[in-house]
């Protein structure tokens, strides 16, 4: 089957799930998904809502939030949205309060926010690049988890998924600092696990490979870079964002009740580890 046919088939599958499933695996659960107005974040939010969850999406720009909410609500999904800059404490608190006020609690958190302020050789990066990378990609992720955990504890359980990158295992030479920040999320997942399991809260990390999104454009828009990256992908194609949504939904479900502290690669057979 050629790539075009595969893409069409995936889109057809998505359309058949376009409305919310009553009694789905996330029925009546409340999910927060950061950076979820487009790309992988939007696909994950859509899938959680399709499986019955009430989903709060977020993005730094109001126009992006409005567009995504309109799209998902047109699919008969229970979704609301709010602007949120993940590195700002007041925005994180507002996001959490939106979920509490509208839906009464939080069961699922997907931390997808990330930035990449430097493209080029690592020695050309500067202190500001590194501060921004760790503030958004790592520190704000931890603080978002810390903010949500008390509310999950009140519910008696919860599931958290962090979103890393295959760059955490295979460092691309043009985005070295970004890869370092994403490697930190692998360790953060392991570090959080003991404390969270004591409260019946599971945490896992999904490690996407090359997905065709605007954010990953630096790796696929330039032919020279694209061919080098694709050589590491055994399926020899870029993934559709929907292909990351299913594993996130699974990890947040009771089907994954014995899975925690894991870093799970979704990279088309790309190099990671044994």
Task: Evaluate whether 48 touches 159 at the Cβ level (below 8 Å).
Answer: no
Has residue 217 got a pLDDT over 60?
no
- Tell me the pTM: 0.88
* Residue 178 designated active-site: yes
Catalytic residue among 103, 169, 172, 178: 178
For residue 250, give every residue at least 6 positions away whose Cβ sits within 8 Å of its Cβ, in sequence order, or none.
256
Confidence of residue 267 (pLDDT cuts 50, 70, 90): confident
Q: What is the mean pLDDT of residues 46-57?
A: 98
Confidence of residue 15 (pLDDT cuts 50, 70, 90): very low
Nearest-CA neighbor of 260 among 197, 213, 215, 186? 197
Task: Evaluate whether 152 touches 199 at the Cβ level (below 8 Å).
Answer: yes
Nearest-CA neighbor of 108 among 250, 259, 209, 211? 250
| 226: number of Cβ within 10 Å | 14
In tens, the pLDDT along 75-132 reads 999 999 999 999 999 999 999 999 999 999 999 999 999 999 999 999 999 999 999 9
């Amino acid at each position: 089957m050629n790539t075009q046919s595969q893409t069409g088939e995936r889109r057809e599958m998505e359309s058949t799930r376009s409305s919310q499933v009553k009694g789905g695996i996330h029925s009546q659960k409340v999910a927060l998904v950061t950076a979820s107005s487009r790309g992988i974040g939007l696909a994950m939010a859509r899938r959680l809502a399709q499986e019955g969850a009430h989903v709060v999406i977020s993005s730094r720009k109001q126009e992006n939030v409005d567009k995504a909410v309109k799209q998902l609500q047109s699919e008969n999904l229970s979704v609301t949205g709010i602007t949120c800059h993940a590195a700002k404490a007041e925005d994180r608190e507002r996001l959490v309060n939106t979920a509490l006020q509208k839906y009464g609690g939080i069961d699922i958190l997907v931390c997808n926010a990330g930035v990449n302020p430097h493209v080029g050789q690592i020695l050309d990066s500067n202190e500001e690049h590194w501060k921004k990378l760790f503030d958004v990609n790592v520190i704000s992720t931890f603080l978002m988890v810390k903010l949500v955990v008390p509310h999950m504890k009140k519910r008696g359980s919860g599931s958290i998924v962090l979103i890393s990158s295959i760059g955490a295992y295979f460092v691309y030479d043009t985005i070295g600092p970004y890869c370092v920040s994403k490697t930190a999320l692998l360790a953060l997942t392991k570090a959080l696990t003991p404390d969270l399991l004591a409260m019946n809260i599971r945490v896992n990390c999904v490690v996407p490979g090359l997905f065709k999104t605007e954010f990953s454009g630096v790796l696929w828009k330039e032919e020279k870079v694209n061919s080098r990256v694709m050589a590491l992908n055994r399926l020899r194609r870029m993934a559709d964002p929907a292909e990351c949504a299913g594993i996130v939904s699974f990890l947040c479900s009771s089907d994954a009740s014995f899975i925690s502290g894991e870093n799970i690669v979704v990279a088309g057979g790309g190099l990671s580890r044994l």
